């Protein structure tokens, strides 16, 4: 299973990097999608996935399968790099036509000298605190390709020993189109 995952990730990334990835965009109500994804994670492991949102509807235009892949990679990281925490938080907010998705964990954190390499393929932080945690170093490279394929931006803030927050900013999609 791990080998199959690695090969799939590798092929996904190759397709994206070469510009052969075609995205199938449709309007997506983010709170519904995130609730669905969180529920799937809920049974798999001990961390609770807690969603914070102020609106029942926040629409973006996205490829739903690729966007699931973004969430799955970021949630997977948030959980596996916070082995002694019991939950992660997902915040959905809208402001001036932009939607921000924040995925926050209370885990190991990212050392400053790793900052510029985080989205490079095969990069993994080599610290004694995470040498036992498996992975290939492709997850974040894929996430960045997908987010940029949606004209979004991704960034993170982190404090060693306290935790990390990854943020994605996307254009909000005006579903009605009738009010202006
Ligand atoms: P893969 O996702 O391909 O299975 P991976 O998780 O090691 O493997 P990435 O998701 O690309 O690869 O992450 C790269 C590295 O960044 C990780 O090895 C880890 O050290 C660090 N990292 C990623 N997310 C977090 C996080 N939320 N907290 C702490 N470190 C993180
Ligand atoms: Mg990962």
For residues 49 and 41, is the Cβ–Cβ distance under 8 A? yes
Cα separation, 31 vs 91, whole angstroms: 10
Could you list the beta-strand ranges (E) of 34-144. Answer: 48-53, 59-62, 87-95, 98-105
Cα separation, 153 vs 81, whole angstroms: 22
Nearest CA to ligand 1 atom 24: 77
Check pocket membership of 104 for ligand 1, CB cut-off 6 A. no
CB proximity list for 80: less than 8 A, separation 6 or greater: 133, 135
Check pocket membership of 125 for ligand 1, CB cut-off 6 A. yes
Atom of ligand 1 minimally distant from the CA of 142: 11
Q: DSSP 3-state assignment of 105?
A: strand
Check pocket membership of 108 for ligand 1, CB cut-off 6 A. yes
For residues 99 and 172, is the Cβ–Cβ distance under 8 A? yes
Atom of ligand 1 minimally distant from the CA of 107: 28
Q: Please say if the pLDDT value at position 127 is more than 90.
A: no
Q: Please say if the pLDDT value at position 177 is more than 60.
A: no
pLDDT at 128: 87
| Mean pLDDT to the nearest integer, 133-137 | 91
Check pocket membership of 47 for ligand 1, CB cut-off 6 A. no
Q: Which ligand is nearest to the CA of 123?
A: 1
pLDDT at 178: 55
For residues 168 and 100, is the Cβ–Cβ distance under 8 A? yes
For residues 68 and 37, is the Cβ–Cβ distance under 8 A? yes
Strands 153-159 and 163-171: antiparallel
Residue in this structure with the two tokens 């036509």, named with its chain if needed: 97
The least confident of 12-21, 80-89, 128-137, 150-159 is 128-137
For residues 11 and 141, is the Cβ–Cβ distance under 8 A? no
pLDDT confidence band for 180 (50 / 70 / 90):
very low
Cα separation, 59 vs 67, whole angstroms: 13
């Amino acid at each position: 299973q791990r080998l199959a995952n690695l090969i799939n990730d590798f092929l996904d990334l190759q397709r994206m990097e070469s510009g052969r990835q075609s995205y199938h965009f449709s309007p997506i109500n983010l709170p519904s999608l995130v609730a669905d994804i969180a529920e799937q994670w809920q049974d798999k492991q001990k961390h609770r996935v807690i969603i914070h949102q102020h609106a029942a509807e926040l629409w973006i235009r996205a490829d739903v399968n690729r966007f699931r892949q973004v969430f799955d990679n970021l949630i997977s990281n948030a959980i596996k790099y916070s082995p002694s925490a019991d939950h992660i938080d997902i915040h959905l907010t809208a402001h001036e036509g932009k939607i921000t998705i924040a995925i926050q964990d209370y885990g190991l954190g990212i050392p400053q000298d790793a900052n510029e390499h985080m989205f490079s393929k095969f990069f993994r932080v080599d610290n004694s605190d995470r040498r036992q945690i498996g992975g290939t170093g492709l997850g974040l490279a894929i996430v960045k390709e997908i987010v940029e394929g949606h004209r979004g931006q991704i960034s993170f803030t982190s404090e060693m020993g306290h935790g990390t927050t990854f943020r994605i900013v996307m254009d909000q999609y005006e579903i009605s189109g009738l009010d202006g």
